Structure formats: C-alpha cells, structure tokens
Amino acid sequence: MSTSLDLKLHAWQSAVDEALAHAMQSVDAHDTRLPEAMGYSLLGPAKRVRALFTLLVADTLGVASERAMVLAVAIEMVHASSLVFDDLPSMDDAKLRRGRDTNHRVYGEATAVLAGVGLMNEAFAHIAKAPGLTAPERNSLTGQLAHAIGTDGLVAGQEQDLHPRKTTSQQEALTHIETVHRRKTGILFALAAGGTASLADLQKVEHEAFVTFGMNLGLAFQTYDDLLDERADTALLGKDTGQDTTQPTFIKLLGVEATQQRARAYLEAAFAQVPAHMPRDGLVGQFVDRLIETMLSGRQSLTTGAAAPSADHGHG
Ligand code: GRG
C-alpha cells in the first residue's frame, strides 16, 4: 500500500465527486425530471476510475489538476451516459447498475434516453465553457471527445458488440473482441491519457504514445472486468452479470489462464509506451495494481475498503 497514492486518491475522489455535483447544479431543464435522471446516473456510487486516472496522468505530467478536472468530469459524464444507453431494454436490458435499479427502471425508457443524451451534451458544454482552458485546448478536447464517442469509438463498439459480423476463424473472433473492447472501453482511457497529454503540450509523437498507453490500460481493465464477470455474482458486482452468454469472449475462446496472460500483456504494452513518464514501479503503476486488486475483490472504491453495493440496495 502506498501512502502517497492513498493520500492523492482520497483527495482526488472527493474533488471529483464535488466537481460532478457542481457541474450538475448548473443543469436547468425547465421543470422536468431530466436533472434528477441525469444526476441519478452521474452522481451514484462508482469507482470513478477514468477521472482518477486523468488526474493521475495530470499529476505525473505537471498539468494543474483544475485543468485536468475539466476533462475528468467530461469523461465521467460520457461514461455515465454510455451506461444508461448500454442498460436500455433495446441493448443489454439490464436491471441493475452500480447496485441500484438501472436508469430506465426508475425513470422510464424515454426519460432514460433523454438523460443519456443530456449527459453526453453536458460533457461537451462543460469543456466548451471551461475558463481555465485556452480556446485551442477547448477545441482539441472537444474534438478528442467527439472522436471517442463516435464511429471510431463508443457507438461503433456498441453496434459491433450488438450485431457482430460472422467470424470464420479463432483469430478473427479474437480480433473482433479486441476491437469491441478498444472502442467500448479502451477509448475513454485513451482519451484520459491523450487528452491530458495535450494539456501538457507534448510533442505530437509523445501525445500518440500517451493515447496508446491509455488504450492498452483500458484493454487490460476490460479484460480483468471480464475475468471478474466470469466468476462473480450480481450481488458482489452491483450490476447484471452473464451478459455475454451468446457473445464470444476471450475466456470462452482462450480459457481463464490465457485470458489472464492477455490482461498482463496489455499492461506490459501500456507501460512500454512512455517509460520515462510512466515507469511500471511509479505512481501510475501503483494505481493500476490497486485498480486490479479492487476489481478482483469486488470493492467499489479505490481508496477505502468500503463494501460493494448489494443487489438489494437502493430502489430494488
Ligand atoms: C453515445 C455515450 C454514448 C454511448 C453509446 C451504449 C454505448 C454507445 C456504449 C456502451 C459502452 C460501455 C457501457 C462499455 C462498458 C465499459 C465498462 C467496462 C463499464 C464498467 O466500468 P466501471 O467498472 O464502472 O468503471 P463504474 O460503475 O465504477 O463507473
């Protein structure tokens, strides 16, 4: 356990929660339930991995945390939005998320869709009006955010996940799974690292290395998430499990051991990118170890031993 990491994570977790709550205060949706429905998915209990990772990269690169927080908040908004969509009856038809009823089960499907769009829109607005960023920085971050959501990112990954093309070999099936993971999960980690690197004004080539660094961390995260999904139950995770029963997964194709090896290989590939900034035994490496340990133990917080939300908690 690293005291320095703990102190930083504690401070950042509170700062992120505060920044998210503050951002939601300015949402005025004219006497509708939208702010409540958006807040339900944005402000509920969550690990905030992507925001913490953004602030950690900023800390390592010397980017002021208030500036990186703009990106951290925007990413959490898009992440929350994607979870609302992912859970919809027309998609995963999930009942539980973060230990509580999914957004559409509380507010109805129509309001959930509008809340998802509202959150995504707020992410762009949040960057566009950030006073601590220059106009070129705001332009750059909104462009990177659009790329992460769009047809090279979340929406494409979700479509490929829902309607996979037929594959004819194991290699093709593995490539398909990795592509979906890149677009659905890796892309927001790539945005966290790459977007923060662009605030540090690094050379283009170094910026790309940060994007690849974040992408590989995201792939490792998703692979560990799948390993956990395989062995954990709904009550431990606070979300529906076994969503992948008809989908190809690394575990189905390769088995648990080879999937664990794959997750470790993604981590190695990540830390090979920018070794001078992100050595494996540095603070980011410690963060990654903490993240994996937290996931495998089913805890919902990177900073404390707080128990995971139970399936009975909240509305359902
Ligand atoms: C237009 C924003 C938008 C999205 C449309 C639905 C969709 C396309 C994409 C779905 C992407 C998705 C849900 C990917 C899963 C990523 C993942 C590993 C989620 C779990 O992340 P954690 O463990 O969850 O960080 P918490 O609850 O802690 O935030």
Q: What is the pLDDT of residues 34-45, one digit of tens each?
A: 999 999 999 998
Share of the chain above pLDDT 90, in %: 75
Whether the per-residue pLDDT at 261 is higher than 90: the answer is yes
Q: How far is the CA of 83 from the centre of ligand 1 (A)?
A: 5
Nearest to 95 by CA among 256, 241, 193: 241
Whether the per-residue pLDDT at 49 is higher than 70: the answer is yes
- pLDDT (0 to 100) of residue 28: 80
Whether the per-residue pLDDT at 314 is higher than 50: the answer is no
Q: How far is the CA of 276 from the centre of ligand 1 (A)?
A: 30
pLDDT tier at 197 (50, 70, 90 boundaries)? Answer: very high
Q: How far is the CA of 10 from the centre of ligand 1 (A)?
A: 23
Spatial separation of the C-alpha atoms in residues 196 and 71, rounded to whole Å: 8
Whose CA is closest to atom 17 on ligand 1? Answer: 185
Q: Which two tokens stand for residue 18?
A: 């505060």
For the chain, state the CA radius of gyration: 19
The verdict on the CB of residue 291 being under 6 Å from ligand 1 is no
Spatial separation of the C-alpha atoms in residues 54 and 36, rounded to whole Å: 26
The whole-number average pLDDT for the span 76-89 is: 98
pLDDT tens per residue, range 223-258: 999 888 877 655 555 666 655 467 789 999 999 999
Question: What is the position in ligand 1's atom list of the atom closest to the CA of 97?
Answer: 27
The verdict on the CB of residue 253 being under 6 Å from ligand 1 is no
* Distance (Å) of CA 310 to CA 71, 226, 230, 240, 314: 30, 19, 18, 12, 9
- pLDDT (0 to 100) of residue 307: 39
Whether the per-residue pLDDT at 315 is higher than 80: the answer is no
Question: What is the position in ligand 1's atom list of the atom closest to the CA of 81?
Answer: 2
Spatial separation of the C-alpha atoms in residues 6 and 4, rounded to whole Å: 5
- Residue 278 gets the label, from left (phi > 0), alpha (psi -120 to 50) or beta, of beta
Least trusted range by pLDDT, from 76-80, 157-161, 246-250: 246-250
Who contacts 53 (Cβ-Cβ below 8 Å, separation ≥6)?
189, 192, 193, 214, 217, 287
pLDDT tier at 75 (50, 70, 90 boundaries)? Answer: very high
Question: What is the position in ligand 1's atom list of the atom closest to the CA of 157?
Answer: 9
299 SS3 class: coil
How far is residue 145 CA from its own chain's centroid? 13
Question: What is the position in ligand 1's atom list of the atom closest to the CA of 188?
Answer: 16
Q: Calculate ∠ Cα 210-215-292, nearest 5°.
A: 110
Whose CA is closest to atom 27 on ligand 1? Answer: 46
The verdict on the CB of residue 100 being under 6 Å from ligand 1 is no
The verdict on the CB of residue 98 being under 6 Å from ligand 1 is yes
Spatial separation of the C-alpha atoms in residues 28 and 74, rounded to whole Å: 18
The whole-number average pLDDT for the span 161-170 is: 91
Nearest to 247 by CA among 184, 314, 316, 311: 184
pLDDT tens per residue, range 104-158: 999 999 999 999 999 999 999 999 999 999 999 999 999 999 999 999 999 999 9
Tell me if 161 sits within 8 A of 222, measured CB to CB: no
- pLDDT (0 to 100) of residue 306: 44
The whole-number average pLDDT for the span 78-98 is: 97
Nearest to 50 by CA among 26, 28, 30, 77: 77
Spatial separation of the C-alpha atoms in residues 305 and 64, rounded to whole Å: 29
- pLDDT (0 to 100) of residue 305: 47
Tell me if 298 sits within 8 A of 229, measured CB to CB: no
The verdict on the CB of residue 299 being under 6 Å from ligand 1 is no
The whole-number average pLDDT for the span 19-40 is: 92
Question: What is the position in ligand 1's atom list of the atom closest to the CA of 80?
Answer: 29
pLDDT tens per residue, range 281-309: 999 999 999 999 888 887 778 886 443 44
Tell me the sheet residues that pair with 96: 101
Q: Chain-wide mean pLDDT for the chain?
A: 90
Q: How far is the CA of 84 from the centre of ligand 1 (A)?
A: 8
- pLDDT (0 to 100) of residue 114: 98
